[in-house]
A and B are shown apart, each in its own frame.
Chain A
């Protein structure tokens, strides 16, 4: 594919790429620590994945195969737009198949299919500071990270338990990386948190507006904060996916009518279509409906 004239490969100039690459190497060397970087204005708005885009642009090579997902789906407009951006500025191959991708840029989900050592996950992060909602001043949160003083977060989680009987965080659930840094896993559902732990793939996180990158190297310990009497738990649904019958995936709720009708389908579109293609069915599958 031809790329846009007048722009460098993958849009960013080489000096900017080097600056981001240096930040990424430090991020990998200090797992979970947020490295400040000279985030650039991108041709997509802040808050729409500029951190992830800058990371992808800095690591991408001509042989890479890129997958972009938003909410687990390849077909949401923002995912389409970012994929189109890289197809135009870098002319690289794109895919919707999780296993075919060398780089997966994501917003809010980790694919259901296990990742491999040959893959890099790039997360778009809106708010990289896990303590920000408890302490908005960066001058203070930096000190707390330096001291590994995460009492604020433990108190917050404990107060949740006292008030609701359980921890009231369902996404962006805080994790401790390599036993040292408290980290915001970007707003993935806590369902995905266990996938962060000891993942064979390198995981990179980019917050463009907040000008931070951070990383979880492969095979790194990632613990979701919890208490002995309130261990971390993830969501499971009573019904399987209505389209592919999967019982192990994160499900989106789809409202079918205004009379309370709804169904639950995989949020990971590739996972669901791959299963359907392999003959798996659910309660709303065309086959099941025809038979009914």
Chain B
């Protein structure tokens, strides 16, 4: 069945004709063209596809787009604003929380939700909140540091301009 999906995506209202059997992940990547959200596994095991629905982390690879009529969806593309990195993005950038980077969008989204609810999480709380996300590169130590750093930046209200490629 085809229907029109009215949805709020990264603060913008949209209406797209979609099929009932379209996954939110494929809607974002194929229909809208936001490829920041990654497909990492067979379904449900890696967290690379994490997005926020009404502010709560969900796996977009197991979510049907047609069930999100009038809901609010945020992807990694919505994290920064006006060409500035969000505190979480800056945390990952400055503390080397990303290596190959494939898992990073999922971690950034999950960490963003965490820091909204809990501005000063302990390491255990960070680990617990990122428990649905898998990283094959970093060994997680740098990711925990990145989120801790992000919490400190957030508390100071710091944002950063996106670094141009090549300018360290």
Whether chain B is bound by chain A comes out as no
Which B positions have Cβ atoms within 8 angstroms of A?
Answer: none
